[in-house]
Each structure stands twice: as C-alpha cells, then as structure tokens.
Amino acid sequence: MIIENLNISSFTDCLDKSRTLILPFGSVEEHGTHLPIGTDTIHVYELAMLASRLYPVFVAPPVWYGLCRSTSQHAGTLGIKGSTLRALVIDIVVAAYSQGFRNFVLISGHAGGTHMAFVADAGEELLQRFSDVKIAVLTVLDLVAKIADGLVETDGDSHAGEVETSLMLYLRPDFVRKGGVKEFPSFPKHILTRNKLRYWPGGVWGDPEKASIEKGNQILQKEAEALVVLIRKLEQFEG
Ligand SMILES: [Zn+2]
C-alpha cells in the first residue's frame, strides 16, 4: 500500500482495507562526514514501508524537505521555512482526506523541535477543520526512546550518532563512510546563536562509533512494531 506504486484500481481496492495514511517527513540535512544528507528521509520512509508490511496501512511519498535550524550553516543542508512546511502538511492531508483517508500519522525522521512545532500546529488546524479525522504527530526519536533499552548504548544520541549510523549501515551501506566522530554540542541556553558552526562544528550529536549493522536491523524492526502499535491505537481512538 505504498501510494507511489499503486494505480487507480489498486488504490481503490486498498482503500477498502484501510483509511489510514502514514505521511513521512524528512529533511535534506548534513549528517556529519560519514552519513548521507538524505538520512532522515531514507530512515523514515523505510520505517513506514516496513510498518505497512506488518499491518495494512497506506504510505504516502515522503516530504523530503524540512525546517533545519542548528544545521542550517553546515555544508549540504537545504531547509525550508516553517510556514512552507505547515502549508505542505495541510495541503497533503486535505488532498488525502478528499480521497477518503481519515487517520493520519505524521511521522518525521527529522526531530528538530521547531520543525515538529509547525507539523503539530498544522495538525491542530486540521482537527478543527475536519470533525472526523484522527491525527498522530511524532518523530522517529519518540519511537527510539520506547525501544532503546538494551539496544542503544549512547544517552542523548540524536543526530548522525549511534542510531542513525546503525540504520544507514543496514539500509544504505554503500553511502556510509568511516570516521564519524563522537560529539555532544552545547548551545547556550535561551540565546539564539548566529554562528551555529562555532557551537556544533562536526554536525554529529551522539556516538557513531557504537553503531553496527545488526543494531540498525533491530532498531528498524522494533521501531516498525512500535509504530504499528500506535497506528492501531489511533484507529481505535475516540475523542
Ligand atoms: Zn537525522
């Protein structure tokens, strides 16, 4: 039920099985010197497709671009404004609603707080606009937090570290380079920084050296299972 692969007939047939759509959001964002710029989108789209193999649910083509704040000055990052992202969420959900979808899982491979605030804000407007929609908003890191026990060694690993390096070793080994260096940046509290590279030179937040292919495999499997649990909960949700 991957929308980009369906045709008129198969799309209509699949709608008899499910009215739930996973809408994956990613980013075009640096992921250190060792991971591809598309890491967030590759991760979230593969996760959504795996979840749809475990449970009948549609998967929309991913939105590649996201709002990137702290990595905006690193080489390779191509961000969009929050207002653009918000408008994209609304336009895509409105189009999908008119096709018959009623349950929407807005899941992002990019976990930036400002990025997610715009996605959630769009979700709130859609709840007001349509009385019969159900919407979940989450990031892949929310799923990782649920499954990390005994699997992820690094506390606070969030960007191009143990988790994402493991996933890319599993999903796109040809695009992973050696030499990802452990980094835990520290931005000043409350003060917006003009020179972001000064506080975060390497573009890694976590420890890539703890990564392995097997961890990547397990993380993706467990994330998909946790996502299916959430989808079932959303479909049964009342109120
Ligand atoms: Zn990432």
Rg (the chain; Cα; Å): 18
pLDDT at 143 over 80: yes
pLDDT at 239 over 80: no
Distance 189 CA to ligand 1 centre (A): 22
Distance 131 CA to ligand 1 centre (A): 34
Distance 110 CA to ligand 1 centre (A): 5
Amino acid at 232: R
The total domain count for the chain is 1
Which band of pLDDT confidence, cut at 50, 70 and 90, is reported for residue 166? very high
pLDDT at 236 over 80: yes
| Domain containing residue 155: CATH number | 3.40.50.10310
Distance 124 CA to ligand 1 centre (A): 25
Q: For the segment 66-99, what is each residue's pLDDT rounded down to a tens digit? A: 999 999 999 999 999 999 999 999 999 999 999 9
pLDDT at 145 over 90: yes
Distance 32 CA to ligand 1 centre (A): 10
CA distances from 97 to 81, 93, 119, 126, 227 (A): 24, 6, 17, 10, 21
pLDDT computed for residue 214 by the predictor? 98
Please report, rounded to a whole number, the percentage of residues in the chain having pLDDT higher than 90.
Answer: 99
Distance 122 CA to ligand 1 centre (A): 22
Distance 100 CA to ligand 1 centre (A): 32
Domain that holds residue 132: 3-236
> For residues 151 and 210, what is the distance between their CA atoms, to the nearest angstrom?
11
**Tokens describing residue 101:** 């979808």
Distance 159 CA to ligand 1 centre (A): 5
Whether this prediction's pTM lies above 0.85 is answered by: yes
pLDDT computed for residue 77 by the predictor? 98
DSSP letters spanning 199-218: H-SS--BB-GGG--HHHHHH
Q: For the segment 195-234, what is each residue's pLDDT rounded down to a tens digit? A: 999 999 999 999 999 999 999 999 999 999 999 999 999 9
Over the chain, what is the mean pLDDT? 97
pLDDT at 5 over 90: yes
- Overall residue count recorded for the chain in this entry: 239
Please report, rounded to a whole number, the percentage of residues in the chain having pLDDT higher than 70.
Answer: 100
Residues 6 or more apart whose CB falls under 8 angstroms from that of 170 comprise: 213, 215, 216, 217, 220
Which band of pLDDT confidence, cut at 50, 70 and 90, is reported for residue 52? very high
Distance 112 CA to ligand 1 centre (A): 9
Distance 236 CA to ligand 1 centre (A): 31
